[in-house]
Amino acid sequence: MVKQIHEFRQKQLKEHSFPNPLHQEVVHDPRANMAHDLVSYAGSSSSIPSQLYYRLGLSMPRWLFWVLTIFVGLTLSGLLVSTLALWTPLWSGQDKTEEELGWSKSNQKQPITGGLWHRLSEYELKQPMNILVLGVESVRNSTGSSTKDFSDQSNTILLVRFNPRDKTVRVISIPQDTMISIPDKGLTKVSLASVYGGVVLAARVVSRTLNNAPIHRYIRISTSVLQKLIDQLGGVELFIPKTINYKNLTENLNVSLASGWQTLNGKQALNFVRFREEVTGDLFRVQRQQTLLIALRERLLSPNVLMRLPYLTQMISKYFDTNLKMEEVMALVNFCVKLKQDNLQMTILPGIFSLLSKDPDSYWLDLEGKARLLGNYVGVKVGETQKDKRPLTHLRIALQNSTKNQSLIQTVISYFRKQGFKKVYRISNSSENLTNTRIIAQKGNLEAGKEIRRILGIGTVEVSATGDLESDITIRFGKDW
């Protein structure tokens, strides 16, 4: 995988000679519950282009950098709106409390009694709801009783949309290295927003990054709760694609996992989603997080675990912080219990690594790719957004042999090329030995995945970011081929 991401970056270096600095900026947030601005950039001591100059490590004269910045901004008409948004003030009133923002916490952490659980079916989700989920590093000696226990940086950032209209749950994973702008801090990474301004600033920054997407509720989860929950569930079953041996004394991480199907205990699962491989940035970690989410969902919805949900909820309650009301929790649980497997859809916020930056792990958003996701994933429609009009045969299709028949890959490649597919390529074989072919819509294009299944006549379609990073669709073909 390290070799894969290295080749991926080298390829991007040829295609992207200059990461666009406008990818971080969107327009002012008009929503009623976030009407107050945080801090205007008009009084910032360092301008955005100047910070970009430093982060990119450029040696050209500053005046030339400014000329090129203006020239590129004016000539690329597709980014004109972003150019204007770059100079839009962020938010003022950072000191606003959660109550002043309409985020009442009066119903927080009330125990769910047995009587309520028996009436679960009476609670229904009527309108779409966007929930910001922040996985926060555990504070040493934390008791879970104070918001200060959730004040560290967010290593997991998800915006989850529960939509009763089409009965879906859609998840956007935001890489923690995503570059954003924070008042008085300038350009920095989104994971630090909760450190500088708590959940209020984190929500505002994420909202703005997603074109002012509404964020109705939030959940902050301590990493320690994941370990406790999985231990209470008796472990979680995951497929480990390759042997992992990783040690980092600074982060107190020691990961040793053999490839293949494994039942991980809480500590193993936590380390699996926390560790970060060199030169891969945050993307593979996001993929592992999504893999764990899928496995956790299957475990939680098993009949023997469903009966224990009241106890599990009470047990972990002190390890998370939320402004969800009790009725909303019940409605969400009822909604998820009925959710079809195909209707859990996940993706990664699209972008590129800052290949020319002094910080090579910084992640810069792809405005066009992001805009295509916003309608379905956060409920925001962007005017003049062009849908992906590429023919199906022009999508990038990654093919992976997940059987013991090593010669099958050439047969599959030949089949796709005869069908007119122009951009099929193979990736390293998987040892998973699948029975059924899996078609993974890596970038959220469910329709394309379904059309490929129709052509093949086999396979199951899933929308997740667990496929090949460069692909539009990843196909892991199994014994049914």
Same domain, 193 and 99: yes
SS3 at position 173? strand
The pLDDT, as a whole number, for residue 87 is 32
Domain boundary among 347, 382, 417: 382
Percent of the chain scoring above 90 in pLDDT: 32
Instruction: Identify whether the C-beta of residue 169 lies closer than 8 Å to the C-beta of residue 182.
Output: no
Q: Which residues contact 246 (CB under 8 A, 6 or more apart)?
A: 253, 254, 255, 256, 275, 277
Same domain, 13 and 89: yes
Beta bridge partners of 438: 460, 476
Same domain, 261 and 373: yes
Domain boundary among 382, 401, 423: 382
Beta bridge partners of 217: 131
Is residue 387 in a domain? no
Residue 10's pLDDT band (cuts 50, 70, 90): low
Same domain, 233 and 113: yes
The pLDDT, as a whole number, for residue 346 is 93
Q: Which residues contact 137 (CB under 8 A, 6 or more apart)?
A: 152, 153, 155, 222, 223
The pLDDT, as a whole number, for residue 24 is 33
Residue 84's pLDDT band (cuts 50, 70, 90): very low
Q: Which residues contact 319 (CB under 8 A, 6 or more apart)?
A: 144, 221, 222, 224, 225, 228
Residues spanned by the domain of 448:
392-477
Same domain, 366 and 420: no
Instruction: Identify whether the C-beta of residue 133 lies closer than 8 Å to the C-beta of residue 158.
Output: yes
The pLDDT, as a whole number, for residue 150 is 77
For 285, phi then psi, to 5°, come to -65, -40
Whether the pTM exceeds 0.85: the reply is no
Same domain, 152 and 295: yes
- pLDDT tens digits, 197-216: 999 999 999 999 998 999 99
Whole-angstrom Cα distance, residue 69 to residue 48? 11
Same domain, 118 and 204: yes
Domain boundary among 382, 416, 446: 382
Q: Which residues contact 5 (CB under 8 A, 6 or more apart)?
A: 279, 280, 281, 283, 284, 469
Same domain, 337 and 233: yes
The pLDDT, as a whole number, for residue 231 is 92
Same domain, 216 and 142: yes
**What are the counts of helices (DSSP H) followed by strands (DSSP E) for the chain?**
15, 19
Residue 357's pLDDT band (cuts 50, 70, 90): low
Question: Tell me, what CATH number does 333's domain have?
Answer: 3.40.630.190
Residue 22's pLDDT band (cuts 50, 70, 90): very low
Is residue 28 in a domain? yes
Per-residue pLDDT averaged across 186-195, rounded?
A: 89
Residue 269's pLDDT band (cuts 50, 70, 90): very high
For the chain, the straight-line distance linking the first and the last C-alpha, in angstroms and rounded, comes to 25
Task: Check pLDDT > 90 for residue 223.
Answer: no
79 or 274, which is more confident: 274
Same domain, 344 and 403: no
The pLDDT, as a whole number, for residue 301 is 77
Domains held by the chain: number:
2
Task: Check pLDDT > 50 for residue 284.
Answer: yes
Same domain, 274 and 321: yes
- Mean pLDDT rounded to a whole number for the chain: 76
